[in-house]
Amino acid sequence: MELGNANTSIGCTVSDCKFHLDNNYCSLDRINVVTSSLSSTSHTKESTDCGSFQPKTTTTI
């Protein structure tokens, strides 16, 4: 997965993700959707997570 331009096929509002762009798109070519380890139910949107998520790193001086 490469960091690049906005992928208009992948909308994203997770602003603390490394791959999130200000226009609410993802910059990855593709994402990996995984089963949530926090979900006790299946067959709901809450039972999935973006496995490609990486937190933004902040530089402090």
Residue 11 lies in a domain: yes
16-51 in b/e burial notation, b at 16+ Cβ within 10 A?
Answer: ebebbbeeebbbbeebeeeebeeeeeeeeeeeeebe
The per-residue pLDDT for range 5-52, each reduced to its tens digit, is 999 999 999 999 999 999 999 999 999 999 887 766 667 777 889 999
Domain interval for residue 30 = 1-37+47-55
Asked if pLDDT for residue 3 goes beyond 60, the answer is: no
Residue 60 lies in a domain: no
Residue 42 lies in a domain: no
Residue 61 lies in a domain: no
- Rounded to 5 degrees, what are φ and ψ at 19? -95, 0
Q: Is the pTM of this model over 0.85?
A: no
| Closest to 14 measured CA to CA, from 1, 2, 24 | 24
What total number of domains does the chain contain?
1
Residue 32 lies in a domain: yes
pLDDT of residue 57: 87
